[in-house]
Amino acid sequence: MLVKRIISTEGITVAAAFDLVKIGEDIGEVAGIGKIGVPVSDSKDLEKILKESKADVYIDFTIAKATVVNAPIAAKCGVNLIIGTTGLTAEDKTMITNEVVKNNVAAVISSNYSIGVGTFMKLCREAAGLLGNDYDVEIIEAHHNQKKDAPSGTAMTVAEIISKEMGGKEFVYGREGVCPRGKEIGIHAVRGGDIVGDHTVMFIGNSERIEIRHQAHSREIFVGGAVLAAQWVCKQKKGVVYEMADVLS
As annotated, the active-site residues are 143, 147
Sign of the alpha-carbon dihedral angle for 97, 185, 211, 127: negative
Phi, psi values for residue 217, rounded to 5°: -95, -20
Q: What length does the chain have? A: 249
Phi, psi values for residue 234, rounded to 5°: -65, -20
State how far the Cα of 70 lies from the Cα of 44, in Å rounded to an integer.
9
Residue 41: name the closest of 65, 70, 64 by CA: 70
Listed in sequence order, the residues at least 6 apart from 184 whose beta carbon sits closer than 8 Å to its beta carbon are 169, 170, 171, 172
Task: Please provide the distance, in angstroms rounded to a whole number, between the alpha carbons at the two ends of the chain.
Answer: 25
**Residues 152 and 197: beta-carbon distance below 8 Å:** yes
Assign 138 to helix, strand or coil.
Answer: strand
State how far the Cα of 223 lies from the Cα of 7, in Å rounded to an integer.
12
